[in-house]
Amino acid sequence: GENVEQHPSTLSVQEGDSAVIKCTYSDSASNYFPWYKQELGKRPQLIIDIRSNVGEKKDQRIAVTLNKTAKHFSLHITETQPEDSAVYFCAASGMDAGNMLTFGGGTRLMVKP
Amino acid sequence: NAGVTQTPKFQVLKTGQSMTLQCAQDMNHEYMSWYRQDPGMGLRLIHYSVGAGITDQGEVPNGYNVSRSTTEDFPLRLLSAAPSQTSVYFCATHAGTSGSYEQFFGPGTRLTVL
């Protein structure tokens, strides 16, 4: 089955700096790569996703890049703000297992004012 | 639209007790799934369904049963609760290959097994 690894597990940045979180996946058949933000005690919320036929996608301060050859994808957050502080999860899915998600272990992002 | 709802929000069980976690959706999605999230970890897939009458196992299915008699409901049953099943359980839905892959999560059920 799919295996997703995520780094770093914790990340501390100053407000206004950029944050980068990286994930690798094992199954070359995976074709959908979402990123979720989870605040304490809340459900995961989708912040951005990318499909395997696209190399990069951007939504305001958030961008995701995908390298299918190397089987890794990254989340980039620019001009970080204190409200960006949360746990971020990457995930991957493919046609197998009903497009269900395999999650990375999460990154706790702390943005210091 | 309520989206994805889960009941109960919190539950405490004793070892050996059984219970059912409820999940319902009004998004008319064919695909539904159950994940568990242990402290400091990502979500892991327990069981999933690609339509009414069809279920399959995920990564961590042992100790859990599911059924899917309607499009809207996908209950998760704990047969004999164990402390290792203490976790937060999330139900999720998505439209599947006929639509967006985006998964929508319910608010979660926090389960403690003593």
Given a cut of 70, is residue B97 above it in pLDDT?
A: no
Sign of CA dihedral B60, B108, B100, A79: negative
- Do B94 and A99 make contact, defined as CB atoms within 8 angstroms? yes
Identify whether the C-beta of residue B36 lies closer than 8 Å to the C-beta of residue B46. Answer: yes
Query: B101 contacts in A (CB within 8 Å)?
Result: 32, 34, 49, 51, 93, 99
- CA separation (Å) from A53 to A26, A36, B66? 17, 20, 34
Q: At which residue do the structure tokens 């989708």 appear?
A: A46
Task: Choose the closest CB to B42 out of A45, A97, A103.
Answer: A103
B100-110 pLDDT, tens digit per residue, is: 788 999 999 99
| Model pLDDT for residues A60-104, shown as the tens digit of each residue | 999 999 999 999 999 999 999 999 999 999 999 976 667 789 999
User: What CA–CA distance (Å, rounded) separates B56 from B64?
Assistant: 12
A29-59 pLDDT tens trace: 899 999 999 999 999 999 999 988 889 999 9
